[in-house]
Amino acid sequence: MRRQSYLRRLVSLGLAVWLAGALVACSNDSSASPAPTPSAAAFFLLVVDIDGPPVDIQINGKSAGSAVCYAARSGPDPTFAPSNTQPLPWSVVVLRHGGRVLATFQEDGVNGPRTVFVRANGVTEASYGANPGPAPAASCAA
């Protein structure tokens, strides 16, 4: 008798869980969430110059590379990874090519790979695989 009552409760619980799942599946709206972050692999920094000016990248005070916008190239975006000579943490400085500082970011590697987006209207930093927003402008920013 006790076992039957236990099983009945189990069935009720199962039905409740199924109903909750079905309700979520049928719901028109959904819960908000941050745009998904892809798997947190070992840290690296991708610099994506979408439609910004040509930039130079400094890591911990040393020149690390440069990037130009999509309209001016077809090659891959530059990627930077820690090494024995360039261990984390990093102070990353994005400069207009040969000019002033546009942005500075601190990277400790804790949040997985990251991306720096260089746009005509500013420089931002986000998780690797993040949505950078609008498609590139037809020409690079001066």
Partner 1 sequence: MQHHLSRLLLACAAGLLSASTLLVNPPAAAASCTPPARGAGYAWMGVSETMSGARAVYSEIKTYDPFVGGSGFSYAWVMLPGSGSNQWAQIGSYKSAAGRTTTAQFMQQSFAYAIQYDWPAKTVGSVHSYSVGRDPATHVFQAYVDGSSVKSITLDWTPNGAQIYSEITPLSNQLMGEASNHETFGNNQIMNASAQWQTFAGQVSTPTTSFGSNGSAISFGTWDLCK
**For partner 1, which is the closer residue by CB, 33 or 61?**
33
The continuous run of DSSP H or E covering 92 comes out as strand 90-96
**Cis peptide preceding 87, ω within 30 of 0:** no
- CB–CB of 64/24 below 8 Å? no
The smaller minimum CB distance to partner 1, of residues 75 and 98, is found at 75
Q: How far is the CB of 61 from partner 1 (least distance, A)?
A: 25
Q: In the structure encoding, which two tokens stand for residue 25, read together? A: 């599946």
Residue type present at position 33:
S
Where along the sequence are the contacts to partner 1 (CB under 8 A)?
3-4, 7-8, 10-11, 14-15, 17-18, 21-22, 24-25, 28-36, 38-39, 46, 48, 50, 74, 76-77, 79, 119, 121-122, 124, 126-138
Q: CB nearer to partner 1: give 61 or 83.
A: 83
∠ CA 130-131-134 to the nearest 5 degrees? 155
Smallest separation, CB 109 to partner 1 (Å): 17
Nearer to partner 1, 99 or 134 (CB): 134
Residue 54 CB neighbours (<10 A): 20
